[in-house]
Structure 1
Amino acid sequence: MSSLPRIRFIINPVSGTRSKVDVAARIKLYLDSQKHEHDIVYTDYAGHATELAQAAAAENYKIVVAVGGDGTVNEVARGLLYTNTALGVLPKGSGNGLARHLQLPLNLDRAIKTLNTGQISQIDSGTINDFPFFTTAGIGFDAYISSVFAGNKRRGLKTYVELVLKEVRTYKHLPVKVWINEQELDTDCFVMAFANAAQYGNNAYIAPLADIRDGLLDVCLVRQLDFVKAINLSYCMLTRQLANVQSAEYFKTTNVKVETEELMMFHADGEYKGKTNSFEVKMNPQSLKVIIPS
């Protein structure tokens, strides 16, 4: 039996943008077989990646690699929380939020090579109503877009932007009560984003100052959104700047509670999770090991 460290690749065969690349062949070509032995498994249903990751961690695999988009990364990472097994990412989605934040190569071959030379780091994670997230979670408009996007056959940034432009004109802000940093706020909410990492994905920075290792949650509250505010907020997201105070407010905290009169949608890492009128968001410092470039 080999004494080399083991890597498990978990592939979502239907994740993200369409690709004809033979991932298994590229892994065999570029993964250093003198340093690691590996196996490849495929997901069959929602949640399967978490089960496969948990099993690998229990068997003391050194690294488990999520091959897919943000949803696949989230599922695999959930199975590795508070273990000694590190998460690797071969990004094949449309947003690739965590891969971008960790400055991992988006090119498949270079991402595989990073597994040969990379180092292990620890990052924070969060939960929204006990659903783990690693980049962002949110309530309001971004969660609504997540629900619409999930049912759309077309993927990618262009489709996402088209949906935002179409739906932003009719989506209404709702009253909410927020407890944050020992303050109680009665306010309107068009969107409230809870950021562990700086961006949603596609280099759209909702919380430019977020640090994935500081144990703090960066909260972006957009109370109401008109055309002028939407332009300012969009420009700032694409240029990694804080929006002006008329467009958005920012907070740093370790936990947030939100209550609403009407049911509001919410998401975790871009995956729509449902509707409710009570939210609790918490940080879990240094809860996940990840492979990053040396």
Structure 2
Amino acid sequence: MHVLLIANPESTTQTEELFRRVIPQLMEIEDLRLEARFTHYAGHAEEMVQGMTREDFDVIIPAGGDGTVNEVINGLLGPADGDVRPHGELPALAVLPTGSANVFARALGYPADNYAAAQMLVDLIREKSTRTITLGTWKGDEEQKRWFAVNAGFGIDAEVIARVERARSRGFAASPLLYLQVSVRAWMKAQLHPPQISVQATSTDGEEMSHKDVPMMLASNTNPWTFLGPLPVVTNPGNSFDSGLGLFGLTSLRGFGGVAAMMHLIGVGHGRGIEKLIAKRTIIFDDAEQVLLECRSGQRFQVDGEYEGKPTRVELESIPDVLKVFAPHEVPLPPTMSWPRHAAKYVRDFIRVRAV
């Protein structure tokens, strides 16, 4: 088994201790040959893997967050406008999560703690535990169609990502406090000047959905949609890597109902009373195959946690059975699991892996 590890030598989250744990264990796997290459600028990982086939490497391990995973996926699969390369011809993907969120890895079933996730990665490769997953594509205005693995959308999430990127470029760390401050500002801006997003969607079984001038619309390829630290944010409980895209929107952000709807979005307030209050404000559409988003009010757009400018029109599509990944075959993540239980699992993994 020929394995390529891609890492960023300048990353502050990819510690020597983590690699000292992972690399010796990988090298102990029978018939495994490991090669490491380093990225030096944004987009380098994508360039590095372009055109690679199973004859080059059996497995590619991107060490990083969702942005790095996105680069590797787009490099391997190439432009989404053309014919999709059969996954049997491509190297399988095994993620070593070292980013700040790692939504893709955690939705696949990796633990929240990076060291525990690294141990799982080694075990999965040793056991050759793989599955084939669905990916999304997006095309904005005149841009080339590209792949995404996690989520995409106009609205508050894209505003938060753009503001955090700006703060990081000025030397601020991407801490939970920074995200909280930026989120509050984005929320206030949306109150004064709410986005006007129109959406049309068709599911894999032909069902259609259409809404106009909604202030928030998300498309997710995963469940959970994202995470707040160790805590999952579930928008579409029925969504998974085996189905189409899950769409979640809010028809209004104003008043107490708007606050309740946003709290519901991050997993707070799932009682009957709150559910009844926000029922008329939420848009949930599962297993979407084709999606058209239009936003002519100059709003930001994000893909896999990366700011992608202000397109006025974005086409999304779900493509099944595209990529082979190393992951557990079953991901036991009940949507009703409470935040305290998730936090307890995170603390448990954190203690266990450091006690080794």
Q: TM-score, normalised by structure 1?
A: 0.87
Cα pair distance change 1:240/1:283, threshold 3 Å: farther
For the aligned residue pairs, the C-alpha RMSD in angstroms reads 2.5
Aligned partners of 1:200 and 1:269 also within 8 Å: no
Paired residue for 2:308? 273
Q: Which shows bigger deviation, 197-206 or 226-235?
A: 226-235
In structure 1, the partner of 2:342 is none
Specify the code of the residue in structure 1 equivalent to 2:135: S
Q: Match of 1:279, SS?
A: strand
Structure 2 match to 1:219: 247
Which of 170, 194, 210 is equivalent to 2:219? 194
Secondary structure of 1:144's counterpart equals helix
C-alpha change, 1:166 and 1:174, in structure 2 (3 Å) is closer
Shift of 1:55: 5.1
In the other structure, the counterpart of 1:51 is 47
Q: 2:299 aligns with which of 244, 264, 288?
A: 264
The yes-or-no answer on 1:283 pairing with 2:312 is no
Q: Deviations over 1:23-72 (max 9, x none)?
A: 44333322134241111111111111112223543643111011011111
- The gaps in structure 1 that reach 5 residues or longer are none
The residue type equivalent to 1:122 in the other structure is: T
Distance (Å, rounded) in 2 between the aligned partners of 1:277 and 1:63: 38
The 3 A distance-change label for structure 1 pair 13 and 224 is farther
| DSSP-derived class of the 2:241 partner | coil
Other-structure match for 1:113: 122
What is aligned with 2:21? 26
Mapping of residues 1-294 of structure 1, within 5 Å: 5-15=1-11, 18=13, 20-31=15-26, 32-54=28-50, 56-57=52-53, 59-81=55-77, 82=85, 83=87, 84-105=90-111, 106-108=113-115, 109-114=118-123, 115-129=125-139, 130-153=145-168, 154-171=173-190, 172-181=193-202, 185-198=210-223, 199-202=225-228, 203-214=232-243, 216-226=244-254, 228=256, 229-238=258-267, 244-252=278-286, 253-293=288-328
Name which of structure 1's ranges 126-135 and 241-250 shifts more when overlaid on structure 2.
Answer: 241-250
- AA aligned to 1:121 is R
| Shift in CA distance, 102/183, structure 1 to aligned 2, threshold 3 Å | closer
- For residue 49 of structure 1, give the secondary structure of its aligned residue in structure 2: helix
Cα pair distance change 1:158/1:247, threshold 3 Å: farther
Query: Which 4+ stretches in 1 moved above 4 angstroms?
Result: 239-243
C-alpha distance in structure 2 between counterparts of 1:14 and 1:200, whole Å: 25
Paired residues of 2:29 and 2:126 also in contact (CA < 8 A): no
SS in 2 for 1:194: strand
For 2:180, what is the secondary structure of its paired residue?
Answer: helix
Percent same amino acid among aligned pairs? 26
Cα deviation for residue 184 of structure 1 reads: 6.9
Instruction: Report the CA distance shift for 1:281/1:58 in structure 2 as closer, same or farther (over 3 A).
Output: same
Q: Do the aligned residues in 2 keep the contact of 1:208 with 1:241 (CA within 8 Å)?
A: no
User: How many residues were matched structurally?
Assistant: 288
TM-score, normalised with respect to structure 2: 0.73
